[in-house]
Structure 1
């Protein structure tokens, strides 16, 4: 299966640059995976598609304000550092721009001397290991100095950092938001629970590797970067009880989907934590997930491949074509899609 099989034409004007004022006021395209039937609704109509006994799985990861702008010691040159993965002893794997002069021993100052990073080593794909020195609590320093690591297709700084967080974000560690969850308000979640639908929380810390473009022509040769996930025992129980009683497991976003599918064993979710490199593309047999709430994804991305595995490539591309014709908003701050 070729990368170009997942391409589609997207006018630039449809790439959403800002979140809507009301999170849940986005549009919702509903795609029936068995028939290919499409309907156009509002996100607030979502509870009408859920039934008592279903289980909604949400990813409660929290995005770190992981983009830091600093100055190289000695020259004062501007340096941008993006935190990718936490290691031990305040060491992080990072992406540094410009990276050429960020050699081991280089020191970078952020906010004066509030945070100082020293480059320790160059690792995979030119990323840098940086050790940070600071006073106090790292997360508080980062919250003061850091910016949200918005995707490159969003061209300006977000005024309110919280709009790139879900209302249920709890565990810090992501380099990007699980964007399907951005549509939910606390009121909408309460309405869903009151209808008799369980909500299970899982955690997958989204790495930038999820959004890296597929560069190989044959998609089976693409390698996903590993991401940390965790599922508590009581949350796994909710999902497993739903499956056992004939209810549906509906994942909010591709990250929640990848989490439960990574933890699947003999038709059940096994609680625990680990690293996952799962790559889902057409031909994959879903073990846990029955339905998916997701945003509209980039052409030729691993995310549109995952969606195509669930609903079929031709049906997904047809739905995307209709979404373009109806001028849906695309990508992180865009509209939503429900595949049932």
Structure 2
């Protein structure tokens, strides 16, 4: 961290706020994905565009990195034998697999960490949910094992037991829309709260910067010679977690699992110093996390004993000046030694003013909630100009939050 930079641990979240009128929160997406507004911030200058023109706005030789996670229907409305309803919101798998990809293929029985709605009315015994999967009647049974720290461990059993848990959620679950939308999900949401390139199930919130991309925009990017790459970070419910501490050192950043293929690391190395732009804050956090895992790999700190992990404050400790390319080479060497073709890791990385970006040169992102860690990330990238960007968006009828408009930030 540069000597002149603030230490993010001493920051107050109340310095990163603005007045967001409720009517500026987009309740639903526009009819066409790529017709949203696009605010372009380029070296201090702000212009207004339409998202379909994004390819013309990108710097030459850009590599765009997308998060191809897919949102699962993680909300389950079960009923007690006496008829009362209990809502279960699946957060992350616990047993027999902690890896999301394996947990989604589990058959017969599994245990997840869940949020429970109407939990006080659920004293004991199982709750049930009848649904249809693959055209056949099916039944899900949920039993609470323990409750702690605001969540519960829930053991699920289902019949037919041959169904993978992914099919259970598809048949029994509802899409977990952001809580501030305050409405039930619809059939339209099942399509529009997913990116067109979503591939790997496991997120409980969409990587919303990607919602603006249409097949036409992706084709236009290819015509303009824009290279693309994909990473997978399964967005957790913690993305909506408010900052309640007076100082950021009192805030525990949520952790999220991610996967990056070795060939993507090689692609990043081959791209060299040319512009690397993240599509969304989740892609950005994944890319920056790669650098810090590379620092660990270079120091011989990555082992087979535990999943590689980036701690919340790692970048702000007395640190490393390891060149970015060396960090990526160290990660590739680690994968080669472990005979792995993909890096599976977790990150709690908190990016806030004072952070020195090692990987990315720009960001495509929506407009975020006041006093959120997502807004801190934007402030880290733009410095004090984040206020100008948000004031411009408010003054020019931009739509905010998950289904809102977009921005291309090129500091």
Q: TM-score range by the shorter chain?
A: over 0.9
- 1:94 and 1:155 mapped to 2: Cα distance? 20
Do residues 80 (structure 1) and 87 (structure 2) align? yes
| Number of aligned residues | 332
Q: Output aligned runs, 1:284-323, within 5 Å.
A: 284-312=355-383, 314-323=384-393
Deviation at 1:53, TM superposition (A): 2.4
Deviation at 1:180, TM superposition (A): 0.2
What CA deviation, in whole Å up to 9, does each residue of 1:143-200 have, x standing for no partner? 1221110011113223320110000111111110000000001221121123222111
Deviation at 1:102, TM superposition (A): 4.2
Residue aligning to 2:248: 219
Q: Which runs of 5+ in 1 are unaligned?
A: none
Residue aligning to 2:353: 282
Q: Output aligned runs, 1:63-212, within 5 Å.
A: 63-73=71-81, 75-89=82-96, 90-102=110-122, 106-111=125-130, 114-123=139-148, 125-134=149-158, 135=160, 136-156=163-183, 157-160=185-188, 161-212=190-241
- 1:277 and 1:154 mapped to 2: Cα distance? 26
SS at match of 2:95: coil
Which of 49, 52, 76 is equivalent to 1:41?
49
Change beyond 3 A, Cα 1:325–1:51: closer
Do residues 11 (structure 1) and 21 (structure 2) align? yes
SS at match of 1:316: helix
- 2:186 and 2:371 mapped to 1: Cα distance? 26
SS at match of 2:187: coil
SS at match of 2:370: coil
Moved over 4 A (4+): none
Which of 12, 33, 54 is equivalent to 2:62?
54
Q: Which has the larger radius of gyration?
A: 2
CA RMSD of aligned residues (A): 1.5
Deviation at 1:222, TM superposition (A): 1.3
What CA deviation, in whole Å up to 9, does each residue of 1:17-57 have, x standing for no partner? 0111110100001112x4x2111111011101224422100
- 2:66 and 2:56 mapped to 1: Cα distance? 18
- 2:27 and 2:365 mapped to 1: Cα distance? 18
- 1:191 and 1:327 mapped to 2: Cα distance? 27
- 1:197 and 1:71 mapped to 2: Cα distance? 50
- 2:257 and 2:125 mapped to 1: Cα distance? 29
Q: Which runs of 5+ in 2 are unaligned?
A: 1-10, 97-109, 132-137, 295-321, 332-341
Do residues 238 (structure 1) and 267 (structure 2) align? yes
TM-score (norm 1): 0.94
> Which deviates the most, 210-219 or 267-276?
267-276
- 2:367 and 2:116 mapped to 1: Cα distance? 29
